[in-house]
Amino acid sequence: MDTEYSNIETFQDLLDLYKSFLNGKINEVPTHSDKLDPESELILPQLIAMNSYGFLTIISQPGMLTKNVESSFPPFGPPWMNHTPYLEFKSPTEIYTSQRQHVAGFMSKNLFRSIKSSLILEGLLVFSWNTDQFRLQLNIENYLPLTIAYARTDDKDYVHPFTTLPMDGSTTLGVLEILKDAISQEAFQTIFDDMTSDMVYVEIVDPNWISDEDMDGKESVSTVDMFDYLVEIMEQI
């Protein structure tokens, strides 16, 4: 256990730790051992706010479309990214690389119940896992068939090749393993075992891709409106 995490005893302690990381006060957290990715700067205020409201954000990305990304990988990502093909898209000509807005992490079930209907009404894709003793159960709260969630690049519409989400909870289990190794056993049991009825892992995805029609001559465009919306609804609780 890292001495930097020896004072973690509660879920609020984890939230404070991640807020310190997002605010630049510490250099790493258990699930991220390096500086924030440059793209995270686009959603940094929103991430700080969401952690302040009780959403421990583990992984996130703004919506982006970038032109002329050099890559030898086939469309829809390299083999090692096949677990998230619904989040990233590479046009067959490799002229564009696109990614959807996405955020995932832990929150209390009470918080999730409070925001779930708003997320669904907004048309966002919502998935949740119960973390009961590592026995994960995927709950699809809102799911649009990805066969209609196409990306538009190179003046063509490309239908995403996956009709179902290739999600088996392995990412969530991996996050739990990292946290279990980082904090004390007592703290882990308090947060994720003894109080599992109060904890849920949530993934939220914007089903929309940015179109190359929105580029307007730029090399890259981005959107963060999903994150603005998440902060807005959490502020109201």
DSSP for 126-141?
Answer: EEEEE-GGG--EEEEE
Q: Degrees (nearest 5) of the Cα angle 199, 200, 204?
A: 145
* Amino acid in the structure at residue 165: L
Q: Degrees (nearest 5) of the Cα angle 166, 132, 236?
A: 80
Chain centroid to CA 187: 24
Domain ranges of the chain: 3-235
Q: Degrees (nearest 5) of the Cα angle 231, 211, 217?
A: 105
152 Cβ contact partners less than 8 Å away, ≥ 6 residues apart: 158, 209, 211, 212, 213
- pTM for the structure as a whole: 0.82
Distance CA 137, CA 131 (A): 8
Q: End-to-end alpha-carbon separation of the chain, Å?
A: 35
In this prediction, residue 155 carries a pLDDT of 54
**CA nearest to 211, candidates 161, 151, 149:** 151
Report how far apart, in Å, the C-alpha atoms of 176 and of each of 16, 41, 119, 232 are: 18, 25, 25, 28
Report how far apart, in Å, the C-alpha atoms of 48 and of each of 13, 15, 131, 223 are: 14, 10, 24, 18
**CA nearest to 144, candidates 121, 125, 118:** 125
In this prediction, residue 135 carries a pLDDT of 47
In this prediction, residue 166 carries a pLDDT of 40
Q: pLDDT per position in the chain (237 positions), as tens?
A: 556 798 999 999 999 999 999 999 999 999 998 888 889 999 999 999 999 999 999 999 999 988 765 554 444 444 333 335 567 776 666 677 778 899 999 999 899 999 999 998 898 888 887 765 444 444 555 544 443 344 444 555 544 444 344 444 556 667 888 888 899 988 888 888 754 558 888 889 888 878 777 777 788 889 999 999 999 999 999
Q: Could you tell me the two tokens for 203?
A: 């993934």
How many helices and strands (H and E) does the chain possess? 6, 11
In this prediction, residue 190 carries a pLDDT of 83
Q: Are 104 and 201 in contact (CB under 8 A)?
A: yes
In this prediction, residue 136 carries a pLDDT of 45
